[in-house]
Amino acid sequence: MRIYAPTSPRVAPLDRLPTTINTSGTSTVAGGGTTIQATYTVPAGRRADLSCQVFGLVATAFAAGQSARVYVQVTKSGGAAFQPAEDDIMVAAALGVKANPGVFHVQLNAGDKVDIVVNVGAGAGAVTGGGGIQGTEYDA
């Protein structure tokens, strides 16, 4: 009888059939608009180790009372959503004001989803925003 088993303990789960994930998007979002610039959902039987980044730049000066928000949104497979990284562009921002909450690291299970979102409040201003999702997907 032959017995087949691993020859050594596995140090990290990232070494089993890894797939590189890389998605991004950028566009100008007008006042009153919300755009998902990039999205990724972990397939069944897989997990993901990802880095996410979002940014925004005021492309048209904001009207009085207008603001914007750029954020990373994670939705767990059960439906609960949260925003682990976000940055606001304050009311009546001038041309060229930036928002960048930095790079956020997230580990996701099967069915979990991550979105890169740019939201601009109602008004005459616009934001050029976007971001990306990069990392590794592997067997669960």
pLDDT tens-place string over residues 99-138: 999 999 999 999 999 999 999 999 999 999 999 999 999 8
CA 10, distance to chain mean position in Å, is 29
Report how far residue 129's alpha carbon sits from residue 14's, in angstroms, rounded to the nearest whole number.
31
pLDDT tens-place string over residues 41-59: 999 999 999 999 999 999 9
* 101 CB-near residues (< 8 Å, 6+ apart): 54, 70, 71, 72, 85, 86, 87
pTM of the model: 0.86
Structural domains present in the chain: 13-139 (2.60.120)
pLDDT tens-place string over residues 83-105: 999 999 999 999 999 999 999 99
pLDDT at 140 over 90: no
